[in-house]
Amino acid sequence: MSENTQKDTEKEIQQPQETEKKEKKEKKIFQKKEKKSKTEELEARIAELENQVAKEKDDYIRLMAEFDNYRRRTSQEKLDLVSMASTDTIKGLLPILDDCERALAVLLESDDSDAAKEGTELIYGKLLNYLKSKGLAVIEAAGQAFDTDLHEAVAQFPVQEEEKKGKVFDVVQTGYTLNGKVIRFAKVVVGI
């Protein structure tokens, strides 16, 4: 055999081996690419699922907060309903309380019997105490600074003293609060 043939034979033997090596390399590269693409797919799927879980968690938290607000709101509405029911009843009794005050004022100035005065004072006291036990409070107005949140000015009266200006000079009708809320403003005369 000549040297050329021997080289040709060696080349022929090496070529299939090199082709085999190339095929193996290509196969490995393909497998790596395939694994990489599968990994990227799985990572994308994981990110998608994490986003979905985060969204569901956020929705759940919002729903719980909304339910808690609903529960508080309905509880407050129930309390307000009970309070309003008593407010209407107590507002209806205020004219009777005014009449008792007027009757006491007239009886104290008259020469009628002490029994009539005591009886009227007793009725007025019991009614007022009962209403106070339900949360009614008298708005103190005489001598106080005029406050539009508590008082309603029905007249103005000129006064000489500077310290009496802007203050309540006289109370025409007593005002009341029920559990801290004004149910009737005090009608007053303000010094100017």
**Out of 5-9, 33-37, 85-89, 183-187, least confident range:** 5-9
Q: Compute the Cα dihedral for 179, 185, 188, 192 and give only its sign.
A: positive
Range of 186's domain?
135-192
pLDDT digits (tens, 9 = 90+) for 65-87: 999 999 999 999 998 887 777 88
Mean pLDDT score across all residues of the chain: 86
Higher-pLDDT residue of 78, 35: 78
Indicate the number of domains in the chain: 1
Can you tell me the distance from the alpha carbon of 139 to that of 123, in angstroms, rounded to the nearest whole number?
21
Condensed to tens digits (0 to 9), the pLDDT of residues 149-190 reads: 999 999 998 888 888 888 898 899 999 998 888 999 999 999
Q: Is residue 18 part of a domain?
A: no
| Cα gap 20→88, rounded to integer Å | 100
- Spatial contact of 130 and 161, defined as CB atoms under 8 Å apart: no
Domain assignment present for residue 29? The answer is no
Asked whether residue 151 is domain-assigned, the answer is yes
CATH number at residue 185: 2.30.22.10
Tens-place pLDDT, residues 102-152: 988 888 888 877 888 888 899 999 999 999 998 899 999 888 889 889 999
Quick check: is 169 in a domain?
yes
Distance in angstroms (rounded) separating the CA atoms of residues 28 and 32: 6
| Residue at 24 is within a domain | no
